[in-house]
Amino acid sequence: MSLSPQLRDAAVRWIADDPDPRTRDELQRVLAAAMAGAAGAVEDLADRMSGMLRFGTAGLRGPVRAGPNGMNVAVVRRATAGLAAWLARGGQRGTVVVGRDARHGSAVFATATAQVLTGAGFTVRVLPGPSPTPVLAFAVRQLGAVAGVQITASHNPPADNGYKVYLSDGAQLAPPVDAEIEAAIAAAPPAISIPTADTATEVDVTDAYLDRVARLPRGASRDLRIALTPMHGVGGAAAVEALHRAGFPNVHVVGSQAAPDPDFPTVTFPNPEEPGAVDALIETAERVRADLAIALDPDADRCALAVPVADGWRTLTGDETGVLLGDHLLRSGGYADPLVATTVVSSSMLRSIAAAYGARYAETLTGFKWIVRGGPGLVYGYEEALGYCVDPDTVRDKDGIAAAVLAADLAATLKADGFGLPDRLDELAVAHGVHLTEGISLRMEPAARDAAAAELRSNPPPGWESELPAPDVLVLRRPGERLVIRPSGTEPKLKAYLEVVEPVADAAALDGAKAAARSRLDALRAEVRRLLGAR
């Protein structure tokens, strides 16, 4: 691949407009290598210059590197200028809260964000040091802010960082706001020309957040030994303190993963869902003979649970934890006409649980931007990807720390009666049927992926009832089975979400129902793979 004059000129213009000398030098070195014909340099430059990092419903996310298609000060300045312009057009000129995690570049990006917002005339309050994302979401509502920005890439690989925006209601962006802000970003001036100021002030809402989280538990028992890992992220200290304040002092943190470390040295991928990610947690849990093991993702908005069983440890799926926490909240009572919500790709058991308690139920598209907008009276929402909103009046997003406290309360309550979380899952299965779910991701080039998804939407397979809750989402249903197919919005993958439901006559029939459900799920998986592989 040869260096074109257009690519060279675009790089030169970006370098001239970059206010950060470090990334100016970085891109200059890449350009020099490309001009010298170094192997792979032109491809590297072309990728960096392939367009602005897209601003979606979760804001920005991408590799920390120079150029418009990366996370750097220039991109952050222009994104913030666009956000400021959009807020100003709507007459929102109040406070904006800025927080950050401990990833590479986070401190610099948070400073750049605060400087542009203050330069645009906003009052900016900055959280002190690295903070969990739920604390930023809490701060937006606590301070009556018009918006909040958290610099984080959540559970992405170590090379990435991101820019997440919350609106004045404390929730993530939802269409069409994301597109409006992206248009404002495109209209922003070069980064070097954007006004900045250094008048932001620090604010610490951590105590208020922890006090609120500590009031979540509903039970009286506190006899529970907990193992916990923040997975090299920023949630460890806050989670331990939240558990202590809630009455759970017996918490053992995985030492090798306790301190924030942007390189995530002990995990291949810093996501509790990934194979091997919780190995160190399980080792610690076994060593201290814990009753419950808790893994937070790096920005502490997601939470995974594991429990001891007869032959070792069992990691709960997101759906299992989701229905456990939803049932626990509704069982505890105290709500007037409550609503619970989950997504079209999560277990449908929550619908049955809600009906049993006389609660309302909403099924939304994937993402907490939809879950927390599921309707009035929302008291709980979850998605299968380890996200749980257990106190929507306070944090209108997933909150791994609050979920951990509520899970500890449930585990301690059950332990006091001689039971564990698997026992409660069995109880729910007897009452509502065995619900098994599974996700499948097939890697496909974007064009082939989109064509396959479009063909399935136009010509769904026979024997299924179909619906289209969104243009890119196909839901197929037949008695006791559900299949959801959608293209990934961030990866070259086609995703399928499977669910089978097997009725249970009584407790004595539970083992047989579980076996039947597993057999049906195996058959459905094979059918789905044939279906997708043939298109």
Q: What is the DSSP letter of 11?
A: H
Q: What 3-state class would DSSP assign to 327?
A: helix
CB 379 within 8 A of CB 402: no
For 230, other C-beta atoms within 10 Å of its C-beta total 28
- Omega cis (within 30) before 176: yes
Q: Which residues does residue 363 pair with via DSSP β-bridges, in sequence order?
A: 342
Q: Where do runs of H (alpha helix) occur along 49-173? A: 73-89, 106-119, 133-142
SS3 187: coil
| Continuous H helices in 217-317 | 236-245, 279-288
Supply φ then ψ for residue 151, to 5 degrees. Answer: -85, 110
Q: 4, 106, 131, 154: which is the annotated catalytic residue?
A: 154
Query: In angstroms, what CA-CA distances link 114 with 75, 151, 352, 532?
Result: 14, 11, 46, 47
Nearest to 386 by CA among 277, 284, 531, 244: 277
51: phi then psi, degrees, rounded to nearest 5: 140, 165
Among residues 311, 326, 299, the alpha carbon closest in space to that of 428 is found at 326
The pair phi, psi for residue 345, each rounded to 5°, is: -100, 0
d(CA 118, CA 113): 9
Q: Please indicate whether residue 348 is annotated as part of the active site.
A: no
**Residues 330, 341 contacting (CB under 8 angstroms):** no
The greatest distance separating any two alpha carbons of the chain, rounded to the nearest whole angstrom, comes to 75
List, edge to edge, every strand of the sheet that includes 473-478. 434-443, 493-502, 481-487, 473-478, 465-470
Mind telling me the catalytic residues? Answer: 154
